[in-house]
Amino acid sequence: MSSLVLIPGLLCDARLWSAQIEGLARYADIAVADITQQRTISEMAESILESAPPLFSVAGFSLGSQVALEVMRLSRDRVDRLALLSATRGGLLPL
């Protein structure tokens, strides 16, 4: 069975993905990333890569889409499919 990592947006958790988890559970092993313990997008992506299987699909919502792009930048060869939802054009604004 394929693996799918779902990355929520800012101030979101696994509840954001409840309908998708229910609809896709028989097609993939699904994990929802916890990006609340890291400070930067790079740290969030690295944390996901540490716990993700060798090959997986990833979907990111809002901030999660920026993290998913960083996952791709760090380890493109491990990502089978990529979905970006409610992604901002041009990425995050500089601080």
Strand order in the sheet with 56-61: 28-32, 2-7, 56-61, 79-85
Phi, psi of 4 (to 5 degrees): -130, 125
37 vs 68: CA distance, rounded Å: 16
CATH class of 2-83: alpha beta
pLDDT digits (tens, 9 = 90+) for 12-47: 999 999 999 999 999 999 999 999 999 999 999 999
Coil, strand or helix at 12: coil
10 CB contacts (<8 Å, ≥6 apart)?
62, 63
Phi, psi of 5 (to 5 degrees): -110, 125
Q: What integer best gives the mean pLDDT of the chain?
A: 94
**Looking at residue 1, what is its pLDDT?**
86
pTM: 0.90
What is the rounded average pLDDT of the residues 80-88? 93
